[in-house]
Structure 1
Amino acid sequence: MGRHLAAALAQYPPITGVDPVGQLAAQVAEILGDSARLDLIVFPEIHLCGDCDAAPDANDWLRAAAEPLDGPRIRALGEVARQLGVWLIPGSVPELGGDGRVYNTEVVFDPGGTLIAAYRKVFPWRPYEAWASGHEFVVADLPGIGRAGLSICYDSWFPEATRSVAWMGAEFVVNVVKTIGADRKQERVLAQANAIVNQVFMLSVNAAGPIGTGGSLVCDPEGTVVADLPTAEPGVLYVELDLDAVTLVRARGTEGYNRMWSQMAADDPVIELPIYQGRIDPTRWEPRGAS
């Protein structure tokens, strides 16, 4: 029967006002009410922090809004997931780290309300964003469904990011985005390219207008766009993905030909990577098994 993921990607404008978590709860409930079955609901990057868009200095506003991951915002978001019984990625949040730095952090809650994964954006959009840079890639296991790779906006421009979570066993990658400029058209190409070269589903959800430029899309492991909201208008992408398609494509090859994850033989020479002061070891090339 396959392992199916029923997901909703909410291409919504950033939330403003005094009770953003309450507004998010209403949005989640509405999305659930419009679908017969959903496993996962995903919102764009920094979805809860729309007030920063009107601030004289958005980076200062976000620094002031930052909380630790054991703070009231995360507890309230967990309660939303628990009350509505759904896997929830409420976009990303400004996280105050124990080191005093402020990170752009994508968070994942299970249907019981537990924070099961948090990913600090490794590639902030420099020089425009003042976030501290994370240094670890993260995957999240959804028991009985599959393994998600976490990615935030500009990460998609760096092939190392998606390749890393794919190698860690991700079958689908959730790229939460708040792109405000004309470069969304390149990001849409990158979503397809990252899907193709890593043989994963790519779920890329951008903020709607008037702040975001929209263009949310879902690509399958061969790069085909299977769901699309091409304009900046608000909307929800509902998709049901057969995650066993990842296993199938990797076994038979893209379009029946290309099996990148089977490229290396155990007796191939080690490939030096001077740019990283590292190497590709053929014995470590294949992805780790997904749950």
Structure 2
Amino acid sequence: MKPFAIAGIQMRVSATYANVELMKLKLDIAMNLYPWVEMVVFSELCAYGPLLHHAQEVPGLFEEEMRAAAKKHGVWLLPGSIFEKRDGKHYNTATVIDPQGEVVTRYSKMFPFYPFEVGVTPGHEFCVFDVPDVGRFGVSICYDMWFPETIRTLTVMGAEVILHPTMTGTIDRDAELSIARAMATVNQCYLFDVNGLDSGGIGRSIVCGPDGRVIYEAGTTEEIFPLELNIERVKRSRELGVLRLGQPLKSFRDHIGDFKIYQPGAKHPYLDSLGPLIKPTRLNKLTELKQKEADLEIPVSGIGYKGDEALTNEINFE
């Protein structure tokens, strides 16, 4: 057995003031109660909430404070994420800090929650890191999980545990819990999903094992949930199968070149027919939008993804 103890911190998040001091207090409490914990994970946008005007450069003051906190307690720390200002754009970025207070890696969310998370630019690099003598960890953020390619890619890169800060305050949390179980199962990995409260989500954080079973599901109040994971279970699952049955990673390996939809230049007429990536609206408004698309002789689809402000301003989505 190769045990490794991770604590998730599900806490209230304010959108009107910084939550950094409360994060440090929660970390102090967690380490006082559970000194055997080796890694701590907070929720997405926990430090400053979901408003872009709190964005800052990385590295910056927040990262410095979190580095000091990790070093103080001698733990691995993933302090959720913050909005990062970089090259005139905004990213949703998480930092991984080791027990010596050093930054190991950073990850920018690949799939902002378009068309709702407007103004945020997608990242384009996957993120894995090694905890010496324990295993390989991957990082994804919230909506990333809805795209199976993201978790699968981290798995192909060797990730055995997926750390997944989340900020979900909407009615689709039940769907996310199902996705978390599915991603853990088909990728034969641990998935450690930490959601926030109030402006940071509706709680119900979840931790799943490599057989897809729920190890822990939090409620809808503040919680610190420390769990000791056995990383050897991942290796055993991948060697012998999920519950000694299906071996999805090996099967994927043996057919990895057969998916023509991913090949450069592939056409996707059905996907192209689905319409623009915009907030749902009343039917008559959608009809007007399609007419504007035809009049302008441009595809409105994908404007949110590409972040073309000029075009977005020209077309009134309301």
TM range (shorter): 0.7 to 0.9
Q: How many angstroms apart in 2 are the aligned matches of 1:258 and 1:121?
A: 31
Letter in 2 for 1:171: E
Superposition pairs of residues 111-190 of structure 1, within 5 angstroms: 111-130=99-118, 131-190=120-179
Q: How many angstroms apart in 2 are the aligned matches of 1:159 and 1:269?
A: 14
Which residue of 1 is the match for residue 40 of structure 2? 41
Partner residue of 1:104 out of 89, 92, 100 = 92
Letter in 2 for 1:142: V
User: Could you tell me how far 1:22 is from its partner in structure 2?
Assistant: 2.8
Structure 2 segments unaligned to the other structure (5+ residues): 267-318
Which residue of 1 is the match for residue 260 of structure 2? 273
User: Could you tell me how far 1:68 is from its partner in structure 2?
Assistant: 2.2
Q: How many angstroms apart in 2 are the aligned matches of 1:234 and 1:81?
A: 21
Q: How many angstroms apart in 2 are the aligned matches of 1:132 and 1:86?
A: 30
User: For residues 181 and 276 of structure 1, do their structure 2 counterparts lie closer, same or farther at Cα, with a shift above 3 Å needed?
Assistant: farther
User: Could you tell me how far 1:251 is from its partner in structure 2?
Assistant: 1.0
Superposition pairs of residues 1-291 of structure 1, within 5 angstroms: 2-15=1-14, 20-50=19-49, 52=50, 58=51, 62=52, 64-97=53-86, 99-130=87-118, 131-209=120-198, 211-229=200-218, 231-263=219-251, 270-277=257-264
On the 8 A contact 2:186/2:249 being kept in 1, the answer is no
On the 8 A contact 2:44/2:200 being kept in 1, the answer is no
On the 8 A contact 1:118/1:138 being kept in 2, the answer is yes
On the 8 A contact 2:13/2:19 being kept in 1, the answer is no
Letter in 2 for 1:46: L
CA RMSD of aligned residues (A): 2.1
Letter in 2 for 1:26: L
Structure 1 segments unaligned to the other structure (5+ residues): 53-57, 280-291
TM-score by length of 1: 0.85
User: Could you tell me how far 1:264 is from its partner in structure 2?
Assistant: 6.0
Letter in 2 for 1:217: I
SS of 2:242's equivalent? coil
Deviation readout 1:29-78 (Å, 9 max, x if unpaired): 1011111401101110000013x5xxxxx3xxx2x322222222211211
User: For residues 68 and 34 of structure 1, do their structure 2 counterparts lie closer, same or farther at Cα, with a shift above 3 Å needed?
Assistant: same
Q: How many angstroms apart in 2 are the aligned matches of 1:168 and 1:275?
A: 18
On the 8 A contact 1:272/1:278 being kept in 2, the answer is no
SS of 2:197's equivalent? coil
SS of 1:132's equivalent? coil
On the 8 A contact 2:14/2:200 being kept in 1, the answer is no
SS of 1:258's equivalent? coil
User: Could you tell me how far 1:168 is from its partner in structure 2?
Assistant: 0.7
Q: How many angstroms apart in 1 are the aligned matches of 2:242 and 2:170?
A: 32
Q: How many angstroms apart in 1 are the aligned matches of 2:3 and 2:19?
A: 31
SS of 1:6's equivalent? strand
SS of 2:244's equivalent? coil
On the 8 A contact 1:219/1:227 being kept in 2, the answer is yes
Deviation readout 1:202-242 (Å, 9 max, x if unpaired): 1111112465111111110010001111x321112211000
User: Could you tell me how far 1:173 is from its partner in structure 2?
Assistant: 0.3
On the 8 A contact 1:209/1:234 being kept in 2, the answer is no
- Determine which structure has more spread, i.e. the larger CA radius of gyration: 2
TM-score by length of 2: 0.78
Deviation readout 1:129-169 (Å, 9 max, x if unpaired): 02110011111211122211101000110001100111111
Deviation readout 1:255-284 (Å, 9 max, x if unpaired): 211112222677x794142244389xxxxx
Deviates more, 1:145-154 or 1:69-78: 69-78
Letter in 1 for 2:2: R
